[in-house]
Amino acid sequence: MVKAFIATLGRGKGTWGHVARLIQEVQWDQILLIGTEFTKQNFRPARDCAWLLINPRSGFETLKEAIKKAIPEAELYISLISGSGREHTALLSALRELGKDYKLVVLTGDGTKYY
């Protein structure tokens, strides 16, 4: 099965390194980054990534529906280390409405962990 990584990227660059390392250290078949035009212009992942550009001021339903359309058919791994609660909630709601199973992926002192 195809492994897809989905991450939200917030405006604060402090958490971008975590996402960048997950992109670099794990062999993903597909990568979807959810962020603004600012994040796309300033975040430099080591691999090619698809982007869902969002307006963080858009309504929740608009954001959720945009995310639903962008979610790939794959085994899903998500990172919520970056981004806002609004984006996280929209992503989780979209996954739930689509009936998609997923695993959370995080870097720890003991390596990459999946939950």
Task: Give the CA diameter of the chain.
Answer: 38
Calpha distance 22→5 (Å, rounded): 9
Given this model, what pLDDT does residue 56 score?
79
User: Sign of the C-alpha dihedral, residues 37, 112, 5, 20?
Assistant: positive
Given this model, what pLDDT does residue 49 score?
96
Intervals of the chain under pLDDT 70: none
Q: Cα–chain-centroid distance for residue 109? A: 21
Given this model, what pLDDT does residue 64 score?
97
Given this model, what pLDDT does residue 14 score?
80
Calpha distance 80→16 (Å, rounded): 11
The DSSP bridge partners found for residue 111 are 108
| Residues written for the chain | 115
DSSP 54: -
Rounded to 5 degrees, what are φ and ψ at 109?
A: -60, -20
